[in-house]
Amino acid sequence: MQHWEVIILFFIIAMVYASVGFGGGSSYLAILTFYSFPFQEMKLTALICNIIVVTGGTIIFIRHKQVDWKKVIPVVLVSVPMAFIGARLKLSEDTFFIILGISLIVAAILLWIKTRLVQESDLGLIKSHYLKDASIGGAIGFLSGMVGIGGGIFLSPILNLMKWDTPKKIAATASFFILVNSISGIAGQLSVLPKNIDFTHIGLLAAAVLIGGQLGSRIGIKKFKPLAIRRVTALVVFIAGIEVLHKHLHLFQ
């Protein structure tokens, strides 16, 4: 591969993101943009890496009964087909990057906002709004399909702001959401992918996030504070969003 530092960065991102239940798709896209990775392969690469990173965490969350299926199903029921539809859209390169840049900036703002976390004792006071949950899931799913991310970076802070559930339950929901939407996004891309994709590059990056994700899910949460991770992630994603818009809006050129 031409840039070995990209592999190292993917490894680090996967390790850190896995510790808080994210896949890292937004940051993978930011790095691939910076290193001028082929436009047609970026979304596929980010989604494959997402699936690899969150699969293990999702299984662990399910085994520990942190996934509240009654609340999760309405969120993903609409998001999965919407992610498929979003992925099938044929966007010009500039349009794709403008949407991506704006999405990264919005995600950064959502990640930075600190909210009062819901405790187990508060759950009896929380009412489920399935139509609202489905609408939020569908909107995020569609956006995720368009730009090639799993959507957890949007869903998790929004659910925290809504005081939707406890932090662990929200992390579990985000992890499952990323997994199913990433799979749906790849399925939607199959009909629009170019024939000359370099799967060697994708394979090396996939191996890096596999190792990083496994380490992160096991030791990351003990070493890092979730709020610190969110704030650092927010800064990185915000800078990436500004850089993407600077390159493709041509406002300062």
Query: What is each CA distance from 215 to 63, 82, 152, 210, in whole angstroms?
Result: 19, 32, 20, 9
Residue 117 pLDDT: 57
- pLDDT bin (cut points 50, 70, 90) of residue 93 is confident
Question: Count of alpha carbons within 13 Å of 132, Cβ hemisphere only?
Answer: 7
Can you tell me the distance from the alpha carbon of 250 to that of 123, in angstroms, rounded to the nearest whole number? 48
pLDDT at 1 over 60: no
Residue 119 pLDDT: 55
Residue 201 pLDDT: 83
pLDDT at 247 over 80: no
Residue 118 pLDDT: 53
pLDDT tens figures, 185-216: 999 888 777 777 878 888 899 999 999 888 87
Residue 115 pLDDT: 61
Residue 210 pLDDT: 92
Q: Is the pTM of this model over 0.85?
A: no
The pLDDT of 10-31, averaged and rounded, is 82
pLDDT tens figures, 105-161: 888 888 787 665 555 555 554 566 788 989 999 999 999 999 888 888 888 888 888
Can you tell me the distance from the alpha carbon of 67 to that of 107, in angstroms, rounded to the nearest whole number? 23
Residue 252 pLDDT: 45
Residue 216 pLDDT: 79
pLDDT at 244 over 70: yes
Closest to 140 measured CA to CA, from 130, 153, 151:
151
Residue 208 pLDDT: 92
pLDDT tens figures, 43-85: 889 899 999 988 887 888 888 888 888 889 999 999 999 999 9
Task: Give 120 or 164, the one with higher predicted confidence.
Answer: 164
Token pair belonging to 92: 């010009």
The runs of H, that is alpha helices, within the chain are: 4-18, 25-34, 39-63, 69-88, 93-112, 130-147, 152-161, 167-189, 199-215, 221-223, 226-249
Residue 37 pLDDT: 81
